[in-house]
Amino acid sequence: DGVDPGLWDGNITEGCVASVLWDIFDSGFDNDDNIDNQFNKTWKIMTEYNPDDIDQFYSYWELEYGDGDIVDLSEIYCHYMIYKAGLIFIQSTPSSADIYLDGVYEGKTGIPIINIPAGYHLLEVKLDGYSTYSEIIDINTDDELDRTVSLLPLTGSVSITSNPTGASVSIDGVDRGVTPLTISGISEGTHSLSISKSGYEEHTEILTVVVGQTTEVNVSLTVVGVIPFPGTTSPPLDLDQDGLYEDVNGDGVFSFGDIRTFFENYDVWIPANEPVACFDFDHNSVIGFGDVRALFLEWGS
């Protein structure tokens, strides 16, 4: 009647399949079964003529048996589709990805999928956080399609700068280096970002990474605990924003007086009262005479 067999009601489809299975064994008419050894005839058409579609199937059937010998359209079509069904076996890296055929979920990678109707199908392999793999596949008679696909992670990049530089960066609790730095290959979505440096308050924020884009982060760290030196009234200042407080007197000018004040306090008072990182002019993580010399050379340059 011209109705696509795929649109038949479930009871008709189930009855069709049951009739096909029964026809493999029976050799006569039984109750509602009016097909007599049609499976053998179908097998002959499929193996000797190998039709590409249902129209060719009928053409070869008429050539072999004549038009009047086709008793039941639905059951013959079921013979055809069962014979033409195929199998696919898809593996993926990472594993356990979702398989879709023509937009319909079929199962996980690593598990064979059987009874795929002959013809062209849209194969898609999906996994959260990874790009979708897609391919048009062609299932032919007795096809066994094997595929191993590598799913590419959906990632973006982050560019991080800080004032002062040299701050330690961690993302999701994993150390990634010191500022300034650019980190690529970060999965899309939200991540926990931490930027820290001795003598400064730790900076934390929730970072959002967008696929194919670079997220820029620029942070000015807040000094912890810088206080006025003995004999002064103002806290030291970082005049050139390099993280080192060369204006020891806090009067807004870098002068020889700052060197003298630093020299008078470098051995005992500074290590006990100030953040070491703010006055580590020779970059060796301790306060010593080398810092006095480095500060003097900076003033004279």
Q: Could you report the per-residue pLDDT of 161-216, keeping only the tens digit for each? A: 998 888 999 999 999 999 999 999 998 899 999 999 877 889 999 999 998 899 99
**Could you tell me if 298 and 255 lie in one domain?**
yes
Domain count, the chain: 4
Instruction: Give the residue from 100, 135, 150 where a domain finishes.
Output: 150
**Could you tell me if 210 and 236 lie in one domain?**
no
d(CA 62, CA 71): 12
In this model, does residue 17 exceed pLDDT 90?
no
Report the CATH number at residue 135.
Answer: 2.60.40.1120
**Could you tell me if 204 and 261 lie in one domain?**
no
Report the CATH number at residue 167.
Answer: 2.60.40.10
**Could you tell me if 242 and 299 lie in one domain?**
yes
In this model, does residue 10 exceed pLDDT 80?
no
**Could you tell me if 259 and 231 lie in one domain?**
yes
Of residues 7 and 286, more confidence is placed in 286
**Strand segments (E) across 82-130:** 86-93, 98-101, 104-108, 113-116, 119-126
**Could you tell me if 188 and 144 lie in one domain?**
no
In this model, does residue 251 exceed pLDDT 70?
yes
d(CA 231, CA 101): 80
CA triple 20-22-24, angle to 5 deg: 75
**Could you tell me if 114 and 179 lie in one domain?**
no
Binning pLDDT at 50, 70 and 90, where does residue 225 land?
Answer: confident
In this model, does residue 29 exceed pLDDT 70?
no
pLDDT given for residue 142 in this prediction: 57
Spell out the residues 6+ positions from residue 75 whose beta carbon is closer than 8 angstroms to its own: 16, 19, 20, 23, 35, 38
Binning pLDDT at 50, 70 and 90, where does residue 52 land?
Answer: confident
- Lowest model confidence (mean pLDDT) among 20-29, 60-69, 122-131, 240-249: 20-29
pLDDT given for residue 26 in this prediction: 57
**Could you tell me if 245 and 274 lie in one domain?**
yes
**Could you tell me if 214 and 163 lie in one domain?**
yes
**Could you tell me if 229 and 301 lie in one domain?**
yes
The conformation of residue 284, written as its DSSP 8-state character, comes to S
- Lowest model confidence (mean pLDDT) among 51-55, 125-129, 293-297: 51-55
Taking only the tens place, the pLDDT of each residue in 86-96 is: 778 899 999 99
Give the residue numbers spanning the domain of 170. 155-220
Instruction: Give the residue from 201, 220, 239 where a domain finishes.
Output: 220
**Could you tell me if 139 and 175 lie in one domain?**
no
Arithmetic mean of pLDDT, 12-22 = 58
